[in-house]
Amino acid sequence: MSLDETGWGWRGIQLATILVYIFMFAPILVVVVLSFNASQFGGFPMTGLSLRWYEKLIGNEAVLRAFQTSMWIALVTSGACTALGVMGALALVRYEFPGKTLVNTLIIAPVLVPETVLGVGLLLLIRFAQQPRSLLVLVLGHILLAVPYVVLVVQARLIGIKRVYEEAALSLGANRLQTFREVTLPLLMPAIVASLLLVFTISFDNITASMFWRPPGVETMPTQILSMLKISISPEINALGTLMIIVTVGLPLLGGGLARLLGRGAR
Amino acid sequence: MRAEPDRQPWLLLAPVLSLLILLLVVPIAIMVVVTFYTFVTAGVEKPVLTLANWREFLSDPYYHGFLWKTVRVATITALVCAVMGYPAAYSIAMTRFRHKWLLLLLLIVPFWISFTIRTFSWIHILGEQGAINVALIELGLVDQPIRMLYTEGAVIMGMVHFLLPYMVLNIYVSLEGIDRNLISAARTLGCTSWQAFKEVSLPLSLPGLLAGLLLCFVLAAGSYVTPQILGSSRDALFGNLVFDTIMDELNWPLGSTLSIVLLVLLGLISVVYSRYMGLSQIFKGLSR
């Protein structure tokens, strides 16, 4: 067996890789294709092309409400979570203090604890505090889920920003807040944009914990899809899936381009 | 604005730490206490300390069955991810293809597509009206659709589909970090390319592979939505048990006990791994 670029082993590996990519994307493509199916059943075969399921979707009140709910939650979560994460990352990268390892572990912990356990935990807390399940609880929960990722992303960028820039500003008479606003923040912009988008998608997409936390009667986009799936595999779900793919893939690609542009401007 | 220099980090950390303590540490502490509460009826429990919940979990084979099945399904999922992910990660790391960034971007794109949508897309592949069955019937190879959806296999398939990018990224990161001179050196010293792989690349990429296995196992073992979408009621996992106990039966003491079991089981695995290789490997993969 040879793993050289021309050998059979390498060919085999390349073939396996292509198959892996097909495995990852074929099912998603099938959803997109089936969303244009004229048939009134969600599956194959295709009986013709039609946009009727998109029309039907636009008139679906429950879906529109779920979409709005998810949008608001994701927007609020991404703003609040990014602010918390940036502050945390600043403390962890720019300062030495006792207990730093413990703080680091605690900040990473939400990734390591199974989401089901996080879900139960927060419910128990509000039960003991005798608070109702509200949208605020859902937002706070989403912030908890996403904050480790923000800290990781911002930390990585912050390590790359040399401290001499900040020291220069300080020695020229700027106070710490001014230094942050005029020097650190612009340099951090790409990481901040990346965090905002990352948190937005984490929140918008979350289902495991949201099933525990959502207030009674409130559906987010993913829980709405799940409850639709339980009734029937209607072609409407395919249309909905396709629209969501366009939003969630288009947005980060756009944001990535933007971040690159901003990064270039800051340099 | 100028606080004492040693107070400043704590001021910056205050919001995030209070969030984590209030929403993570305190709830888990409450959870531990509630495992010793007495269950009265749905939604009602008494703060009378008892070992009944733990006794029920430890003595009833029903729960052990769930635990065992969850470990088995998560193990199979992690192994399938490794077998499928390694060749892909290897070829992405070693390729001379000019647009390697595109291959990497395609690995990240699935993270942006809703997990719910990616999971239910398998209904269109495996279902009775799915691509495979419709094709087989069209070709005349079978008369009746084969039952593939709502089985354990479908659940594993769905989880592999969702976890594979994590695996590939983890392995890729460690392969990418290997000094290429080591491989050239092995080749000049007479290794075949296969031997060079076995003696150099494979051992050096082992941390990434192990981190990927851990991550896939933990995420698979904790999931309950995939079995809800792609499995039958018999394919429920430990997470489903927790969800049903809390949300349907409203049995908080038992639900807390089961949650703690899940937390300890998956936590122990993470701790054992991190002792040997450091969790930083995982986060290197995650934060890409």
Instruction: Write down the residue that tokens 């695995």 correspond to.
Output: B269
- Domain assignment of residue A215, yes or no: yes
> In chain A, which residue's Cα lies nearest the Cα of B124?
A43
- Using the Cβ of A32 and the Cβ atoms of chain B, whether some distance falls under 8 Å is answered with no
Q: Report the domain count for chain A.
A: 1
Whether the model clears a pTM of 0.90, i.e. scores above it, the answer is: no
Question: In chain B, where does DSSP find H-type helix?
Answer: 8-20, 26-34, 52-59, 61-94, 100-112, 115-120, 123-126, 131-138, 152-176, 180-188, 193-196, 202-222, 225-230, 238-243, 252-277, 280-286
Residue B6 forms part of a structural domain: no
Query: Is position B25 within any domain?
Result: no
Q: What is the pLDDT of residues A220-241, one digit of tens each?
A: 999 999 998 888 777 888 888 8
Digitized pLDDT (tens) for each residue of chain A, 267 residues in all: 456 666 778 888 889 999 999 999 999 999 988 888 877 776 777 777 778 888 888 888 899 999 999 999 999 999 999 999 999 999 998 888 888 889 988 998 888 888 999 999 999 999 999 888 999 999 999 999 999 999 998 988 888 888 888 888 888 888 888 888 888 888 888 889 889 988 998 999 899 999 999 998 899 999 999 998 888 777 888 888 898 888 778 777 777 777 677 766 554
Three-state DSSP class for A195?
A: helix
Mean pLDDT in chain B?
87
A86 lies in which domain range?
A: 62-266
Q: Is the ipTM of this complex over 0.95?
A: no
Q: Reduced to 3 states, what is the DSSP secondary structure of residue A171? A: helix
CA distance B168 to B81: 8
Residues whose CB falls within 8 Å of the CB of residue A162, separated by 6 or more in sequence, listed in order: none
CA-CA-CA-CA torsion for A47, A50, A54, A55, nearest 10 degrees? Answer: -120
Q: What is the CATH number of the domain that holds B159?
A: 1.10.3720.10
CB A109 to CB B24 under 8 A?
yes
Interhelix angle A135-160/A185-205, rounded to 10 degrees, is: 140
Quick: pLDDT tens for A17-56: 999 999 999 999 999 888 888 777 767 777 777 788 888 8
Interface list for A 136-175 with B (CB within 8 A) = 140-141, 143-144, 147, 149, 151-153, 156, 175
Name the band, by pLDDT with cuts 50, 70 and 90, for residue B186.
confident
Least Cα separation, residue B173 to chain A (angstroms):
15
Which domain does B220 fall in, by range?
30-286
Which CATH number goes with the domain that contains A252? Answer: 1.10.3720.10
Number of domains in chain B: 1
Closest CA of chain A from B38, distance in Å: 15
Residue B167 lies in a domain: yes
